[in-house]
Every structure is written in C-alpha cells, then in structure tokens.
Amino acid sequence: MNAPTLTDLDPSTPVLIGVGQASERSQDPGYQGLSPVELAAAAAHEALVDTGADLSALAAAIGTVAGVRQFEISTPGAPAPLGRSDNYPRSVARRIGAEPARAILEVAGGQGPQHLVNELAAAIADGREEVALIFGSEAISTVQHLARAEDRPDFTETVGGQLEDRGYGLKGLITREQQLHGLTDAPSQYALFENARRARLGLSRQEYATAIGELFAPFTEVASGNPHASAPTVRSPEELTTPTEKNRPIADPYTRYVVARDKVNQGAAVLLASVAAARRLGVPQDRWIFLHGHADLRERDLMDRADLGRSPAATEAVRHALEIAGVSVQDLATLDLYSCFPAPVFNICDAFGIGADDPRGLTLTGGLPFFGGAGNNYSMHAIAETVHRLRATPGTYGLVGANGGSMSKYSVGVYSTAPAPWRPDDSAVLQADLDALPAPARATHADGWATVETWTVTYRRDGSRTGIVIGRLDDGRRFLAQAVEGDSDLLNLLATGDPGGTRVYARSFGFGNRVALTDTRMEELHPTRPPAFRDAYEHILVQRDGHVLEVTINRPEARNSLTPEANAELDEVFDAYFADPDLWVAILTGAGDKSFSAGNDLKYSASGKPMWVPKNGFAGLTSRRDMNKPVIAAVNGLAMGGGCEIALACHLVVADESAQFALSEVKVGLVAGAGGLVRLPRAIPRKIATDMILTGRRIPAAEALDLGMVNRVTAPGKALEAARDLAADILDGSPTSVRLSLQIMSETEGISGTVDAASHPSPAIDELMVSEDMVEGIMAFATKRRPRWKNR
C-alpha cells in the first residue's frame, strides 16, 4: 500500500505546526527573573513564530489552551513564595493575544506534555477541536534566587475565567504506608527500582555505578551544546558517580549529578492544528509534523508491581506506539527517553535492546539531570527538539517517551514529517490487561524472618542516613520497612554492600516496620516489653482500685487530644490491663469537664512531626482485636473525631448531660478511619450514622442514649461516678463469665443468621465448664451466700 500524500489526508488530521522554547539562567547576562507565566508565554510566542504564519490569525484561532502544572501547584499546600496565577493557562493565553473557549490545567506528572499532545490530537481528529496550544514552564531557580530579595517581584495574577482544573493526579502515588516509612521523595523511590534491577542482573555496586556513568555521560555532551540547558557541563562517567563534596550521595545508588535537576527557568510550547486549519492559516507544509503513533499507560502502584526493577506499562506503551506507527526501534532516527533518573532509561533500553552507546543517542536535550528537570514539563522540550530534528531530515522518525510519578505513568509519541492519517490507539485495552496482572501479597505489619528484595540508603546534608528496605517474609508477602536505628551493620551493608537476598528480621510497630540483621539485634535495640504498669506517665493518669482500673487522658489544655506519645502510653496501659488477671473492669475518661477527647491532636499534626498510632489504634483500643474484658468510657464533655471513635470502641459508655458526640473529621479534611466509619453505622440506624459522618453533626448525650450509642446519662460532672457504679454492677457477676461472654459475642459478630450464630461451637464454653467460677457460682446460689469469684 502506498504511503498517503498530503492531498490524501482527511482535513481533520492533526499536525504539529509550531514549537517554542524559552529559558534563562540567573548567572547569565541579561537575566530578567521571568515568572512561570512569562516563560511559558515566551515559549508560546516562539511556537507561533515557528509556524511561519500570521501571529494574530494563529492566536485568534486557538480554541483550547492546556497548561502543564508547575511544581508549586503540583501538590496540596505547596508554597509559592513569589505568588502565582489563579488561572495559569489563561494568564499565558492573554499574553499572546489568545481568547480560547477552553482552558485546561493538566494533572501533575512528567507524562503530561506528551499525554496532552495525544489527547488534543485525538480531539482534533474527532472534529472536537481545530487549534490547540500546549505549554508549561518552571521558574524554580528564579523563585529561590529572589524569594529573600528586598525588592522581590510579585508573580500573583488574578485572571479568573473558565478553567478545567484536573487536580493533582496523585492517587496511588503516595500512600500512608510510604509516608510512614519515609518513602515520599522521588530519589528514594527510584533508587529502589534501581537496586531491584541491580539485584536481578547480579551486578556489583561498582559495576552498576559504572553502568549509570556510561549511560549518562553522553547526556552531558548533548546538554553542553544546548543553549537552554541548565547545567551544560561535560562530565565523565567516573565524575558522575564518584561521591564528592559537590556530588554528594542522595539515595543509594544516586549522587547529585545523576538525579533530575529542578533548579531551572525554562518554558516550552507546542501548537497543534487540523490539516484544514493549518492550510487555512497559511502554515507552510514543511513545518508540519505528524503524530504517527501514540500511547498512554499507567503502571501498577509501587508495592503491587511484580518486579520492582521493571515497568511493563512503559515498555508496552513504547511497543504499542511503534506498532501504530508501523515502525521498529531500529527505524527511529531520534529518541528522547525520559531521564529523571537512570531507571526509566534502563527500563526502555533493556526491553528493546538499546545500548547506552547507541549512535543515535538517548536524548535530544541533554536529559533531566543536565538539561534540567523542568518540573512536569520536561518532555515538551523533548518534543520541540524532536520537531526541529525531523524537519532537518524529512521522512525520518523520532520517539519521545514521557514518564510521570514513580515510573507510574508513561506517554509516548512517534513523530515524522511523513504524512500519516490519524490512527487511534488501544491503550484502554492494554491498560485493562496491565491492571489484571497478579500483585504480590502484602504485609502491612511485618513480623518474622524475611529477605531483602530491594533497598536504598537516603542521605541528609548533616551526614545522617536512613535505610529503606522492601522485603519478602518467608511466606512470600511483600512489606516496606526501615532499617532499625542503631543497627550499623545492616545500614553499612545497605550502603556499601550487595544486600539483595540478604536474610533480615522484621518487626512491626505503630510507627512502621523495622528490620535488623538478626532477631537478636532487633531484641537488643527494641526489647520486647512485657505488659506492665509504670510508676508514672506523662500524658495520662492511672489509678487502680481493687479489680477496677481507671485511666484518665490528662491533656485538658489540648481538649485531651492525642499525640503519638499519648497514644503509646494508653496502648501500654491497656496491654497491661488485658494481661492482668486481677483487673476485671477498666474505665477510660478525660481530665477536666470540657472534653473526653478530641481525638487526634491536629496542632501536633500541623507541626510536621511524624504522626502514627499504635497497632492497637487510638488509645490502644480502636484496632485492638482481643478486648475480652470490659472497658467503660466515662464521657465528660466533647467526644469528637477520634474521641468518639474511642468511645465507640469501648464496650459501655456513660455520659453526663453536657456530653456531645461527633465524627467531625470531614470538617478538617479527614475521615473517621479509626473504626468510626464501621462502628457507628452498626451501633445506630444507618441513615443517622451517615448524617453524622457526612456532616460532622454533634449528637447530645440524650439523643445518643435514645440511639443506643450510650448506656447511661448522668447529671453534669457525674459520668465517672456513674461509670464506677456500672463497674461495680459488672463486678457483682463472675469475671470469668463476663470475659467469656465478650469472647462469644466477638466470635459470633460476623455470623449471619441467628440460629447459626447461637449454634457456634465456641471454645469459651469449654473453658467455662472447667472454671472455678462456674462451680463457685452454682455452689453460692445453692447455699444462699455471695460468691467469691476467682477469675479462673
């Protein structure tokens, strides 16, 4: 079949008709300190000029503008020291005289530029769009350079107008588990991928460092000749990977020179149009570039990947884009492989047999560590460079691979001047296949012997180090952990040795999983604590009165809210309570008359200190599985958020008239994740529970009593006294019977059907049959005397 000619093309066929780049370095003459909007506008203007057509007509024809997010608007709460636009795409459009009907702000991720090209090209092919301008920019270097200046500029702009803000797109990229183990930064995550690959290939530390250096040294040569590069310095392989004062370790195996450089001032833009629009606007045909192949795929979440040293989604996206284009890797004249770290480049090279010394080169810009990792917008520069190369060698093909997240999202484009009809992709079908791949079983709490699957050591400027490990327990479950603090032998092995496959010992804590080289070393550093009471506590008061334990949260100045340390003390106390055979009932209350507990201490959370709760949950109760002795909540004042969840976790609740209950998490952007979302709908009518959960509505004590949340309501200030009376009523019965009754209730809670639940063969019945208390109870009844309970 003959190749199509320009006259054969459908008028709606999309073409790239203009590209532009802009940059400045603070140390260069003529430095202006341009804002992100100004850099993007300069690039956009350059893209219009690049078409060779009338600028005013082009600007008037733009129906859609799409902006790639800067770093300062890529995560919730990210600072913008010099201010920012409230509508970045329209701020840029206004500067080039465009008034588009539609403005898009894309999700975060380095895949964004290529994804937007793919998406808007499809919209043009479908007749939903005619001309679209895509751009992005970063002024991170300028912001850092001028933030403390007395005459610092103000980049704030209020534009308003329509904006399709697609959000941050961070779902699945950062998890609570990763946050708990210090795995939230990109270098640490990519270092894990790198070391998983090294372990799979069986390479030594030095061999892998050599491979990284040989991969990236040619990138530095390209960057040295690029006028837009932020670090245009040629470096040898050894220079790139040898730690020095300037090239300090970041996350093993990375030194500073081989990670993406974000201190940049760069912008780039791409102009798309239909063939009909390009002709109407007078764009010369020698400017046209066709998108021959394209694909957009997403990788499994980090801990769900079968092989942490590979990204099947990225390689499948490249394969599919080439398939659509009808060309092979060998047919490509140019490649630009996203290079925030070596791993994404290695991933594609491994899959397609491309060598680090491939004469075509693996980058057209110099790559993210040397050209500059321009936030999420790097690949816009790669597309621009690809367009220039293809125009210079008509009929050849170029590939751009754009990576986002933690090798999470990959978008690909195959470009050429050769005319080609629009060909839809099958990314959705391929994505379904990827999503169906089996994932390793997971262990949130890891305990026991394991092997190291991959690892890294992160380095701070003060020289301190943290070891991070992904391992497999002996039963095959994967877990995330940190090296236990104090195990220097393990940390040194992770930092200087070949730890892949090494046996380690894991133990879980409320603050996360930890690993040591041996169980003996773990025990030395974290001695097993037998359940016991201390003489004094910092955040709680503990009083023992016969068989009753009274625990008071003693933080009235903070509404008895809980920090990790307060939660740990409560967990320790309840461990001791449930282990002590002479304690039969516990009462939990809050100091003062204002609040039982406000749950999580939000001021503590806002301070940036690590937040964690014991494995047994808030107050050591909300996630505790074996609560086989009664706990009474004496609620005085507010039981808000986590405080309400604690009360719900208790077996019995006594409240004074002033008490109020609320799951108020939605009011502060949280959810009642400590059991409230489960327990409340089971404790009261579901509709009312849903009302409380979705609105944060406070329920007074009297209403809580009517709903069944509360057992008794007392006069103001009398909750603790009434709780003591309730405890006395419980103590009047057999503690063995009380304990085993709670056990049977717990065992049968999930059994549907009354008869099936009642017929459940509980071992508690067998225990009761041989207990002293059962004999004592029967004998006391027969002889008309008070029983003398033994709790055995």
What residues act catalytically? 645, 665
Contacts made by residues 528-531, CB under 8 angstroms, sequence distance 24+: 529/572, 531/572, 531/575, 531/576, 531/578, 531/579, 531/580
For residue 688, give every residue at least 6 positions away whose Cβ sits within 8 Å of its Cβ, in sequence order, or none: 707
Inter-residue contact 657 to 574 (CB < 8 Å)? no
For residue 153, give every residue at least 6 positions away whose Cβ sits within 8 Å of its Cβ, in sequence order, or none: 33, 35, 82, 146
For residue 741, give every residue at least 6 positions away whose Cβ sits within 8 Å of its Cβ, in sequence order, or none: none
Three-class SS string for 321-350? HHHHHCCCHHHEEEEEECCCCHHHHHHHHH
- Partners of 577 in the β-ladder: none
Inter-residue contact 287 to 16 (CB < 8 Å)? no
629, 519, 524, 644: which is closest to 574 by C-alpha?
Answer: 629
Exposure of 51 by Cβ count < 10 A (0-12 exposed, 13-18 middle, 19+ buried)? buried
What amino acid is encoded at 42 in this protein? A
Distance in angstroms (rounded) separating the CA atoms of residues 403 and 112: 8
Token output for 677: 């979302």
538, 544, 577: which is closest to 558 by C-alpha?
Answer: 538
Distance in angstroms (rounded) separating the CA atoms of residues 600 and 641: 8
Distance in angstroms (rounded) separating the CA atoms of residues 341 and 250: 12
Distance in angstroms (rounded) separating the CA atoms of residues 789 and 734: 6
Instruction: Convert 765-781 to b/e letters by CB count within 10 Å (16 or more is b).
Output: eeebeebebbebbeeee
Distance in angstroms (rounded) separating the CA atoms of residues 216 and 194: 14
| Strands of 164-165's sheet in order across | 14-23, 265-274, 131-139, 64-68, 102-105, 164-165
What amino acid is encoded at 119 in this protein? E
DSSP H helical ranges for 18-154: 36-50, 55-61, 88-95, 112-125, 140-146
Residue 406 CA, chain-centre distance (Å), reads: 10
Residue 166 CA, chain-centre distance (Å), reads: 17
